Homo-oligomer: A and B are copies of this chain.
Amino acid sequence: MRLMEEKILAEGKVLPGQILKVGSFLNQQIDTALLAQIGQEIARLYDGAGVSKVLTIESSGIAIAAAAGMAMGVPVVFAKKHKSSNVDGEVYTASVHSYTHNADYTIVVSSDYLRPEDKILLVDDFLANGKALMGLSELVVKAGATLAGAAIAIEKGFQGGGDALRAQGVRVESLAIIDAMDDNGITFRPQ
């Protein structure tokens, strides 16, 4: 998606530790014209795929998931993060390792909202090592639902998570894939 790449080049900031800061348009502040186009593009990519629900994790994926869900006309479900694995009620849980915080957390979704008949599209803002997407996929498997694939705003291709998932046969569509970034600039993977 050319607009996403242009926005990253214009406003993204590369920080030490290969961190890409996009707080001015995708995280702390959201450019809603871009957000609407992200939703439309995800709907276009998964047109005809039979998606019945969008699933994301709180909190930075919610706006993108909401835009995608509105464009596709399907509900959005978001998994919550818990520090402990003690969760009451009829829920599905998965453990996710966060490299950013060097800690594990549990993601939780009510069994009311993920059903065996659902075909699920995973949506998130970033894809790096893929641990969050793998956790969400685990929830889909536990619910007996079907995975349609994943749609990501920005993939850090050089961290390998996206390609590992593709190698497992998961459809992963990223609106921009960064293959390298450093002080000299950002290199996108041709799509």
- Please indicate the chain B residues that have their CB under 8 angstroms from the CB of A78 in the complex: 28, 30, 59
Stretch at the interface among A2-10, A64-72, A128-136: A64-72
In angstroms, Cα B11 to Cα A95, docked, is 30
Q: Is A113's CB within 8 Å of the partner chain B? A: yes
Size bracket, chain A contacts: 20 to 34
Q: Which residue of B lies closest to A76 (CB)?
A: B30
Q: Which residue of B lies closest to A62 (CB)?
A: B62
Q: Is A33's CB within 8 Å of the partner chain B? A: yes
Question: Which residues of A in the span 10-56 have a Cβ within 8 Å of any Cβ on B?
Answer: 23-24, 28-33, 35-36
In angstroms, Cα B58 to Cα A80, docked, is 12
- Please indicate the chain B residues that have their CB under 8 angstroms from the CB of A75 in the complex: 29-32
Q: Which residue of B lies closest to A80 (CB)?
A: B28
In angstroms, Cα B58 to Cα A30, docked, is 13
In angstroms, Cα B69 to Cα A64, docked, is 13
Q: Is A110's CB within 8 Å of the partner chain B? A: yes
Q: Which residue of B lies closest to A64 (CB)?
A: B66
Partner of A77, one of B29, B59, B80, B109: B29
Interface centre among A36, A63, A74 (most CB of B within 10 A): A63
In angstroms, Cα B78 to Cα A76, docked, is 19
Q: Are A24 and B67 in contact (CB under 8 A)?
A: no
Q: Is A117's CB within 8 Å of the partner chain B? A: no
Q: Can you name 15 extra interface pairs (CB under 8 A) apart from A29-B75, A67-B70?
A: A23-B110, A28-B80, A28-B109, A29-B113, A30-B66, A30-B75, A30-B78, A32-B69, A32-B70, A32-B73, A32-B74, A33-B73, A35-B66, A59-B59, A63-B66
Residues on A lying within 8 angstroms of B by beta carbon are: 23-24, 28-33, 35-36, 58-59, 62-63, 65-67, 69-70, 72-78, 80, 109-110, 112-113
A selection of 15 A-B contacts at a CB cut-off of 8 Å is: A23-B112, A23-B113, A28-B109, A28-B113, A29-B113, A30-B69, A30-B78, A32-B66, A32-B73, A32-B75, A33-B73, A35-B69, A36-B70, A63-B63, A63-B76
